[in-house]
Amino acid sequence: MARPSQALEQSKKLLPVICHVFSELGYRRTTTGELAHQCDVRENILYRLWPDKKAMFLAAIDHIFCDRAQMWSEMLADHPTPKQAVERIVKFESQRQGEFGFYRIVFAALTETDDDDIRRALVKMYKRFHQLVCNQINAGREVDDQESDLPVEMAAWGLLGLATISNIVRELKLLPSNQREQMFAAVAKLLVGGETT
């Protein structure tokens, strides 16, 4: 035996770069040449880490979820009250959208849903994300003991929709950012709280 493989470490190092390229260019327009260039390696090195371009994309989809989940957990590391937690997440999502290319990768993936692997990766991602949101809303509601009209699962889908359209609004500059944030906050409050305050 000689020289242990550092493939895992290197792929972890390269993944953020790969995510960024995919989020900038989408799936089809991203060339393996461009990926290699941005990663500052040669193409065949990428092909030693992943069997093909699709695998690189799947890894990117997985990574963006883990990334986002970790951000949330870091944001809630100081154990705020559940209601504070929801408010903090809403604020975070409304303000720092787009920085991490989350939705751009999702959009890219959504145009490839006739590929079973990509579809599965997306389904998994959405289910986990929806669950995460549900948990937060649930926690927030239980404490206040307020029976809201909208079931938690539905509110969570509504929030995901809100985050999506808000990203589109940002992407296309359909509203100035302060208005977009206000919109996000107002709709989110309606969805989560049941009543506006």
Partner DNA sequence: TAGTAAAGTAAGTGGATACTTACATAACAT
Partner DNA sequence: ATGTTATGTAAGTATCCACTTACTTTACTA
Which residues form the interface with a second copy (CB under 8 A)?
24, 26-29, 104, 107-108, 110-114, 119, 122-123, 126-127, 130, 149-151, 153-155, 157-158, 160-166, 168-169, 171-174, 182-183, 186-187, 190-191, 196
User: Could you give the CA distance from residue 128 to residue 132 in angstroms, rounded to a whole number?
Assistant: 6
Comparing CB distances to a second copy, the nearer of 74 and 149 is 149
Given 17, 41, 152, 175, the residue binding DNA (CB under 7 A): 41
Per DSSP, 48 falls in state: H
**Minimum CB–partner distance for residue 171 and DNA (Å):** 22
* Interface segment toward DNA; rule CB under 7 A; list 44-52, 96-104, 114-122, 180-188: 44-52
53 binds, among DNA, a second copy, none (CB under 5 to 8 A by kind): DNA
Task: Check if the beta carbon of residue 23 is closer than 8 Å to that of residue 101.
Answer: yes
User: Could you give the CA distance from residue 14 to residue 108 in angstroms, rounded to a whole number?
Assistant: 20
- Residues contacting 4, CB < 8 A, separation 6+: none
Among residues 129, 165, 136, which one has the least CA distance to residue 152? 136
